[in-house]
Amino acid sequence: MKSISIFLFSIFSLTIWGATSSDASVQPQAPVAQRISHVNDFHNDPRVDWYSWMHEPTNPDVLGHLEQENTFADSYMSRYESRQTDFLQKLQQLRTHSSVVLLSFASGFIEIRWEAGESYGKWFFVNRETRSERLIFDENTASDGHDFFQVMAAKATPDEKSLVLAIDTVGRGRPHLALLNLEAGQLRDLPMTVIPSLASHGSEIGMIWLNDDSFLFLGQVDEMASPHLYRYSLEAGAETLLHTFSDELDGHFKELYKSVDGTKFLVNLMTTQENQVHSIDPIDFSVTVVMPEEVGVISSLNSIGGQWYRRSNKNFEGRLIEKKVGAEWVEIYRPVSGELMDVAWGDTHLVLVRSFGGMSELSTLDLVTQEHVVVQVDQELVSFQNLLIDKISGDLYYRMQTYTDPRRTYRVRLGESHPVALMGEAENRSGYTTRRLFAPARDGVQVPITLMHAVDDDLSVNKPLYLIGYGSYGHYLAPKFKRAHRILVDSGVRVAWAHIRGGGINGSSWYDQGRVFNKMNTFNDFIDSAEYLFAEGITSSQKLAIGGRSAGGLLIGAVINMRPDLARVASAGVPFVDVLNTMTLYYDPLARFEKQEWGDGLVEDQYFNIKSWDPYTNVTTQDYPSLYVFTGFEDTAVYYFQPAKWVAKIRHFNPNPLNPVLFTTTFDAGHGGGSGIDAGEREVAREFSFILGELER
């Protein structure tokens, strides 16, 4: 690989686009970034990256350019100020109380509650017997003095008198650990010289307490390093390296957990296609493989009552539950259809989440009798989160939501089918409904679409529509209530989700059909879904807005290169758009995990495959739709400079665009945006006021 940098020039110019609303007769200036030649040469294919200088976060020119982009976006958005204020007020009006049962103790529970007028949650300890409660931690107070504040996970100490909290105060997803005394409510940081790698197991931090005041955890010496095994002593206030995983395991996600029966300390090393499990000796901390890696096999492993159990796709694509008898694995449960997407392990029961055709089912499996009981729900398009088995009572706590219903917490006895609603946002969904459509892709595959609209909406009338997509990592856009989507529907805009290949709505094969050499299916499916909605008269290209975040932003970037006429407006949040450079230069700490997702740019045929669809590489001169791009400066999943470079290249190729191109950087935000409900609402109001305004422009 050859790399050459030569300073060329810096240009500042006036950007003018077509007709706009009458309140903005004078157009603001759009920043035009300086171009510095930087040649990347792989496989005898030299490419000039004119904006690689933006990779330097402390460079004053970089910071100045981002500020100019913000100023330009603010100036343009001033025409939608009243619309943005109205949208924000509606979000706030729809905000109500919500809560979750986070942890269960012998003596009680930890619940987090979000009150309607507060931006952060309050943590309560609820006594199991008396139901009395006391406030133990207020994030609203703890966040004072921090531009960003997020508690990412928690873990109780063995005596249940304290919690270890993983707290991010920067937005980079790299937390520090702190010890919260439940009686006194005091919080103190745990000093470390390494970055703790969350590797959370459910809602708990991936750490294992030992018999003294120490615990095992996975840590990294820096953001680019692979996690290794450490032991931390509360008394000494320091960590000790115990085990370094071999270089061949670099590129594996690592998850640390204790088995249900407490007899095994386990590390799960995963890629998107296979995994292996290691056991840690509790005495000398030596590490041995207990489940070797097999190509194409993903298994989760646990020990219950001295018996090994696993959820695995080795003998069935939809994943089986098996237990080990002697040297053999014996099947004890097979889903009738679809795929087992999640499992919560208990002493006597397993809790299973099955996905089939975009619908989800929650059930319990008795490990002794193998009795399988489905938990009853009153809707088909639902999703389940925060599964918590309370070992003391034998109850399962979980949260459920739909596209039209906010999350609510439920409780059901293990082995029983009728849950009780406990707490959550009580909303009237009577005015909204969802339905499932199927769009024929160009190769004949039927692509599911979920459509949300008003109950009294006449679908034969062509109306504006916001189409959402993702299509990567086998991730399914499961039902999730969004207040913003309700406001869109109230504004006369339908909302739809295209469940394209590369996602997981139809299981592993659906995912496989949209990764590496099959990645083009992802983009084609999204385009074909939109064309189906046009053909059915549900919407039209001039009434269509499209959006996606992260890998969904990659989708949007590729689609508007391929079909700039597809939509009137496009929104891309924290978009992963510089794929080819990421997968050749490997500057991103996540890139080494993702060769099986996009391809390895150091392999020639995979390199040219990525190049054929990479959003940044394929920017050209054409009339792009109105485009709203936003990112967080502290984002380590998709660095800020990816969308910055992408927008700069779009501006260069289109100096006098027909439609506006806006780019906003929030300097105290990460991959998930700013912290707290208030910040999130402001970001959402801004994005959707742009979408609504541009649909009407």
- Whether residues 165 and 61 fall in one domain: no
Residue 426: the pLDDT is 53
**Model-wide pTM > 0.75:** yes
- Whether residues 185 and 196 fall in one domain: no
Flag whether 406 is in a domain: no
The gap from C-alpha 630 to its chain's centroid, in whole angstroms, comes to 16
Flag whether 469 is in a domain: yes
- Whether residues 145 and 222 fall in one domain: no
Where does a domain end: 169, 190, 211?
190
Flag whether 149 is in a domain: yes
Residue 229: the pLDDT is 94
Flag whether 374 is in a domain: no
- Whether residues 82 and 101 fall in one domain: no
3 state SS of 555: helix
- Whether residues 135 and 73 fall in one domain: no
Residue 548: the pLDDT is 98
What's the Cα-to-Cα distance from 355 to each of 121, 319, 337, 341, 586, rounded to whole Å?
Answer: 31, 11, 8, 6, 34
Look at the chain and report how many structural domains it folds into: 3
Residue 322: the pLDDT is 94
| DSSP characters over 631-690 | EETT-SSS-THHHHHHHHHHHHH-SS-SS-EEEEEETT-BTTBSSHHHHHHHHHHHHHHH
| Whether the Cβ atoms of residue 15 and residue 651 lie closer than 8 Å to each other | yes
| Whether the Cβ atoms of residue 79 and residue 672 lie closer than 8 Å to each other | no
- Whether residues 501 and 593 fall in one domain: yes
Strand 569-573 with 544-549, pairing? parallel
Query: Which CATH number does the domain housing residue 510 bear?
Result: 3.40.50.1820
Q: How far apart are CA 541 and CA 568, in angstroms?
A: 6
Q: How far apart are CA 100 and CA 410, in angstroms?
A: 9
Residue 452: the pLDDT is 98
Task: Give the chain's residues under pLDDT 50.
Answer: 1-25, 200-202
Residues with Cβ within 8 Å of 512's Cβ and at least 6 positions away in sequence, in order, are 518
Q: Is the dihedral of CA 23, 27, 29, 30 positive or negative?
A: positive
Q: How far apart are CA 223 and CA 172, in angstroms?
A: 10
Residue 590: the pLDDT is 79
Flag whether 306 is in a domain: no
Residue 95: the pLDDT is 85
- Whether residues 118 and 248 fall in one domain: no
Strand order in the sheet with 133-138: 98-104, 108-114, 122-127, 133-138
| Whether the Cβ atoms of residue 650 and residue 620 lie closer than 8 Å to each other | no
At 582, phi and psi to the nearest 5? Answer: -60, -45
User: Token pair for residue 230?
Assistant: 């450490």
Residue 1: the pLDDT is 39
Residue 17: the pLDDT is 39
Q: How far apart are CA 453 and CA 436, in angstroms?
A: 12
Residue 77: the pLDDT is 97
What's the Cα-to-Cα distance from 633 to each of 55, 224, 628, 684, rounded to whole Å?
Answer: 11, 17, 16, 17
- Whether residues 116 and 223 fall in one domain: no
- Whether residues 571 and 663 fall in one domain: yes
Of 471, 479, 201, residue with least CA distance to 360: 479
Residue 254: the pLDDT is 87
Flag whether 419 is in a domain: no
- Whether residues 84 and 149 fall in one domain: no
Flag whether 692 is in a domain: yes
Where does a domain end: 190, 221, 246?
190
* Residue appearing with tokens 């976006």: 73
- Whether residues 563 and 682 fall in one domain: yes
Where does a domain end: 274, 295, 316?
295
Q: How far apart are CA 139 and CA 121, in angstroms?
A: 6
- Whether residues 436 and 458 fall in one domain: yes
Containing structural domain, residue 493: 57-92+429-696
Residue 204: the pLDDT is 66
Flag whether 304 is in a domain: no
